[in-house]
Structure 1
Amino acid sequence: MKLKSWLSRTLFVTSLGALSAAAWAQSTLLTNVNGYTMNSDRELQRFQAIQFTGDTIDRVFEPGEVLPEPDGLTVIDGQGKTVLPGLIDAHGHILNYGLSLLRVDMAGVRSEREAVQRVIEFQQANPGMQWIQGRGWNQVLWESNEFPTAAALDAAESDTPMWFSRIDGHAGWANRAAMELAGVDATTPDPDGGMIIRDSEGRPTGTFVNNAMRYITQHIPSPSLEDQKMALRSAMQALAAEGLTSVHDAGVSSTTLQAYRELLEEGPLPIRVYAMLAGLDPQLPDRLAEGHFVSDDNTLVVRSVKISADGALGSRGAYLNDDYSDMPGHRGLLQITPERLTQLMNQSMLSDFQVNVHAIGDGANMIVMDNYEALIQTTDTQQQRHRIEHAQVLRYEDILRFSQLGVIPSMQATHATSDKNMAQDRLGEVRIHGAYAWRKLLDAGTIIANGSDFPVEPASPFYGLHAAVTRQDRNNEPPGGWFPEERMTHEEALLSFTVDAAFAAHQEGILGTLEPGKQADFIIVDQDYFEIPPEDIWTMSAEQTWVGGRLIHETAQ
């Protein structure tokens, strides 16, 4: 993807010509569009034109309504294109996404050998790097179905330490140089909440799961503040090009928050960021004491905390109540002790912050939900709209508790279609019916905030809309959908990426729908979401992305 400076894209565009930036102060009428939004009753509403002044919508014109005279207006001809509310990703990792643009991309590799070849090619193109890093490998896609080894990386013939995160971020692959630097050998113990994959003689093979990853990652130099600013800027530009106008950034350190603040001082952020403070940040008490932060232009909001309870299903790090069906005697891992989890949740609630807990296994979800049931009452914080991030594997009784407690499941539709090749092996014939259970959650009276978990999954929201509606991957497999009874309707899927994601961030008053008084966040797309065949939704793309009345991205004509 070719990235452009967002500062150079803040001028309005009328058909093929650019308008003066001074026109931003006057009202703009985008007309001749095939527009869709939701009304206050969550029903689909069509419109033909939208008028906004500065960053605020003045009026939305339904088909047949008389449009205002053009005098005093900047008029943009939408050329019959489809317009949707700006799409919101309720769970992504913006810094990691920006850094991933500068690292080895192993997404989709079909074998360990292919992954190593990408490393060799990257090293040849980027000589002299202190560390070689990357992410995206998934051994479930490989014929061997085995975790990768440091021995395989010997083919790179390099003394440079290497570290590659699994697609879910809950396991990592190191070469011999990295393990030697970290002092990891057969005598190194598995830490609490982590596991070193070993050979028959107990020697580390090169794969580290959950908390064991820290043996390696603590030796990787942290990106500087300027490095982070560069990565964040690049990531936000790229995300705008995907059609995203807002992202909930799941787990932001104090340093990264400072990078955001400095970028904000330089001008509005390209897209809106709802930043979740990292629960294990050593400076979390200081950040909580500072209270909520909302920038004047609403492009940066801080009022929530992200805590991780367990790992991921693919690396068998998700914490289950009973053994993995394909690994007897193993139930996964909790990343922090139950006592520490309760303490962090309570501390954040007492500071009047929303709590968003990563929980994937049914055991982790049960523990988190038990905490919510107790702590929401004692702290009187139901109005904070606490969340569970991922909520992938649930007991039926916990599905019901989401609505009862007012807890929001923040889920990622593409996780289901990516995990379908291994999820049933991990969970068995019974537990699988509580996994990725969108329809059961919706029917129980809750809402779902949708997202992607990029860079774990691709950032395109159209991939997520496609997966939500079809329960199929982008090869449209399996026929008819994977557990198709859990599908969302077109309207429900769009709600989950717009007004329901906005609700999960306390922003439904300004974002999520196109209505007078709300922010002028919208996208112009190349196909009609409601008319194209469902199997083609993933092929959609954003031709223009507008945030607060500013044109942030435009596809080159």
Structure 2
Amino acid sequence: MKKYLLQPVAVLAAAAALAAGSAQAAPTLVDHVQGYTFSQDKLTSFTGLVFDQGKVLGVGDAAVLAKQYPDARRVDGQGKTLLPGLIDAHGHVFRIGFRTSEVAVTGTQSLQEAQARVKAYAEANPVRQWIMGQGWNQVIWKLGRFPTAAELDVAIADRPATLRRVDGHATWANTKALQLAGITRETPDPVGGRIERDANGNPSGVLVDKAQALLVKVMPPYSDAERRIALDSALRHFGSLGLTGVGDAGVTANEVKIYREFADQKKLTTRVYAMIGDVADDFKVLSASGPLKGYADDRFNLRSVKLYADGALGSRGAALLEPYSDDHSNKGLLFMDDATVQAKMKTALKAGYQVNVHAIGDAANRQILNAFEAAYKDGGGIEQRNRIEHAQVVAISDIPRFKTLGLIASMQPTHATSDMNMAEDRVGKERIKGAYAWRTILKQGTVIAGGSDFPVESANPFFGLHAAVTRTDHEGKPIEGWHPEEAMTLPQAFRAFTLDAAYAQHQEKAIGSLEPGKWADFIVVDQDPFKIAPADLWKTKVLETWLAGEKVYSQKAGD
């Protein structure tokens, strides 16, 4: 069991004297807790927290706080552990919400198991005109190839069916869906996409990256009613996991409308930092009045843009400088040429938006590093705290450029433990040295914003903390961790999912730690992460979640 050096926090109460003598409503004191937070850049412990009107007044020794706030309403923490609300810097909110109404093949261990799930879902939902779902992974199935349309036809043939791969970068379609989309052997691969084909050149049933758009254009769009249901479902899920903030990586104008509606109605129980998808039509509409900052008491922010440079490693769409080690004819897919990338960046930066770019392969990361460098020379924008999302495989010589260009590495620890079954096969023993290189990136002073990329991975932030510290799966394998030299310490991981995630969203003065003047976003959990074996971090359960001093989730008996 690791021991962590913690500094007990002196009572921090910037407005203590004023608050004690004012006529404001009585604050709330949460006492008898084992609390942890970053304070003045150090990890500290405390036994009491005082807040009023949604914001922290004081943190420190509970007995001292009780004397300073004698009229405070007392909440007994019962000796439980209290932490700042956790923040997932990168996910897909509506996608995780839609998951509840679609067929899920996540975690299936074989093609046959996935087929059975799809068949059962289709039979149970006879009125659904188009069967949709997500979560398949041919690597886990040990197919050695992508699944085919004919294999999906076995489960459902009378209606179109499309299932997104677990990483969202490939879609498995049945024959009916391919026919409705008009995809034939004559259909060319789009730029940044690939239609998988059989030996005769016919579409085999999987569309990679931008080729998925061929299907999307004929699929039925979601209604606003469906979006509201999805967002409500996602918010309830986040509360149960202790997430008080999430970054939504790529939103549409329709989704922003729903977000603002929820925020206005005080239904947005998790803070959302939204990234506009690309700089096309939606951006022109949404950016007309400039970035939206701190909307509805910091519940919603719209001040960044999400771009895509390449695909994903699992579907071999991640763009590499040299061919894949397990597919020598393939270097992956760059979505844009250099001039297009730079033009998009300049458009967003000039309008005052942070630019966050998905880049997984070393070629994609280099392209984006080059593009930021060029953009800064032409028009500035480094102050926007721009980010590279994922930054999974980076050439060793390119890693220092994150620091020199002032970029944030928005990384997802569970990607490493999910990808370790194939990552080294894809890139080989040399390139893997620059992959999932958290410690190397932190050592040079680059900020890592922690996330999960839900629903690609579980949104549970304790899974992320566990993966960051141990680099093992939940069974503790591999025993020493997968490339343990790049593991984070627990304080580093904790910071990545709190204060540094907030920094990556320009919100470190409002959230991310429990300090006077910040929002009282906190969670109560069933075990002390700083006193247990790191192998048990993922087992942590959230008992309560509070946002702005209001309880938005409480564990029910039996949960």
Q: TM-score range by the shorter chain?
A: over 0.9
- Structure 2 vs 1, CA of residues 277 and 459 (structure 1 numbering), >3 Å: closer, same or farther? same
The alpha-carbon deviation at position 376 of structure 1 amounts to: 2.1
Gaps of 5+ in 2: 1-23
Does structure 1 retain, via aligned residues, the 8 Å contact 2:66–2:72? no
Cross-structure match for 1:21: none
Q: C-alpha separation between the residues in 1 aligned to 2:144 and 2:47? A: 52
Cross-structure match for 1:206: 205
Work out whether 1:226 is the aligned partner of 2:228.
Answer: no
Q: C-alpha separation between the residues in 1 aligned to 2:392 and 2:63? A: 44
Does structure 1 retain, via aligned residues, the 8 Å contact 2:342–2:372? no
Deviation track 1:318-337 (CA, whole Å, cap 9, x = no partner) reads 00111111111211001233
The alpha-carbon deviation at position 126 of structure 1 amounts to: 1.8
Q: C-alpha separation between the residues in 2 aligned to 1:100 and 1:268? A: 20
Work out whether 1:320 is the aligned partner of 2:327.
Answer: no
Aligned residue for 2:543, secondary structure, equals strand
Query: Which residues of 2 match residues 364-383 of structure 1 at below 5 A?
Result: 364-383=364-383
Q: C-alpha separation between the residues in 1 aligned to 2:414 and 2:28? A: 36
- Structure 2 vs 1, CA of residues 547 and 387 (structure 1 numbering), >3 Å: closer, same or farther? same
The alpha-carbon deviation at position 257 of structure 1 amounts to: 0.6
Does structure 1 retain, via aligned residues, the 8 Å contact 2:169–2:312? yes
Gaps of 5+ in 1: 1-23
Aligned residue for 1:283, secondary structure, equals helix
Cross-structure match for 1:12: none
Cross-structure match for 2:492: 492
Cross-structure match for 1:4: none
Deviation track 1:236-277 (CA, whole Å, cap 9, x = no partner) reads 121111110000110001111111111222225111000101
Q: Return the letter of the residue paired with 2:454.
A: F
Cross-structure match for 2:297: 297
Q: C-alpha separation between the residues in 1 aligned to 2:503 and 2:101? A: 33
Q: C-alpha separation between the residues in 2 aligned to 1:216 and 1:514? A: 46
Q: Return the letter of the residue paired with 2:296.
A: D
User: Which range moved further: 338-347 or 431-440?
Assistant: 338-347
The alpha-carbon deviation at position 533 of structure 1 amounts to: 1.0
User: Which range moved further: 98-107 or 359-368?
Assistant: 98-107
User: Which range moved further: 207-216 or 279-288?
Assistant: 279-288
Does structure 2 retain, via aligned residues, the 8 Å contact 1:268–1:297? no
Does structure 2 retain, via aligned residues, the 8 Å contact 1:355–1:386? yes
Query: Which residues of 2 match residues 474-485 of structure 1 at below 5 A?
Result: 474-485=474-485
User: Which range moved further: 295-304 or 119-128?
Assistant: 119-128
The alpha-carbon deviation at position 410 of structure 1 amounts to: 0.1
Q: C-alpha separation between the residues in 1 aligned to 2:449 and 2:38? A: 16
Does structure 1 retain, via aligned residues, the 8 Å contact 2:263–2:296? no
Q: C-alpha separation between the residues in 2 aligned to 1:219 and 1:450? A: 35
The alpha-carbon deviation at position 397 of structure 1 amounts to: 2.3
RMSD (CA atoms): 1.4
Q: C-alpha separation between the residues in 2 aligned to 1:122 and 1:62? A: 54
Aligned residue for 1:477, secondary structure, equals coil
- Structure 2 vs 1, CA of residues 157 and 455 (structure 1 numbering), >3 Å: closer, same or farther? closer
Work out whether 1:468 is the aligned partner of 2:479.
Answer: no
Q: Percent identity?
A: 47
The alpha-carbon deviation at position 113 of structure 1 amounts to: 1.0
Cross-structure match for 1:56: 55
Query: Which residues of 2 match residues 260-339 of structure 1 at below 5 A?
Result: 260-279=259-278, 281-293=280-292, 294-339=294-339
Cross-structure match for 1:392: 392
Q: Return the letter of the residue paired with 2:550.
A: R
Q: Return the letter of the residue paired with 1:528.
A: D
Does structure 2 retain, via aligned residues, the 8 Å contact 1:90–1:451? yes
Q: C-alpha separation between the residues in 2 aligned to 1:228 and 1:278? A: 17
Aligned residue for 1:297, secondary structure, equals helix
Deviation track 1:59-81 (CA, whole Å, cap 9, x = no partner) reads 01237646237753221101000
Q: Return the letter of the residue paired with 1:343.
A: A
Aligned residue for 1:185, secondary structure, equals coil
Does structure 1 retain, via aligned residues, the 8 Å contact 2:414–2:463? yes
The alpha-carbon deviation at position 345 of structure 1 amounts to: 0.6
Q: C-alpha separation between the residues in 2 aligned to 1:85 and 1:70? A: 21
Cross-structure match for 1:423: 423
User: Which range moved further: 177-186 or 407-416?
Assistant: 177-186
Q: Return the letter of the residue paired with 2:80.
A: K
Q: Return the letter of the residue paired with 2:367.
A: I
Q: Return the letter of the residue paired with 1:548.
A: A
Aligned residue for 2:281, secondary structure, equals coil
Cross-structure match for 1:74: 73
- Structure 2 vs 1, CA of residues 532 and 380 (structure 1 numbering), >3 Å: closer, same or farther? same
Q: C-alpha separation between the residues in 2 aligned to 1:264 and 1:46? A: 33
Aligned residue for 1:101, secondary structure, equals helix
Q: C-alpha separation between the residues in 2 aligned to 1:143 and 1:329? A: 21
Cross-structure match for 1:115: 114
Work out whether 1:141 is the aligned partner of 2:140.
Answer: yes
User: Which range moved further: 358-367 or 288-297?
Assistant: 288-297
- Structure 2 vs 1, CA of residues 540 and 52 (structure 1 numbering), >3 Å: closer, same or farther? same
Cross-structure match for 1:412: 412
Does structure 2 retain, via aligned residues, the 8 Å contact 1:253–1:281? no
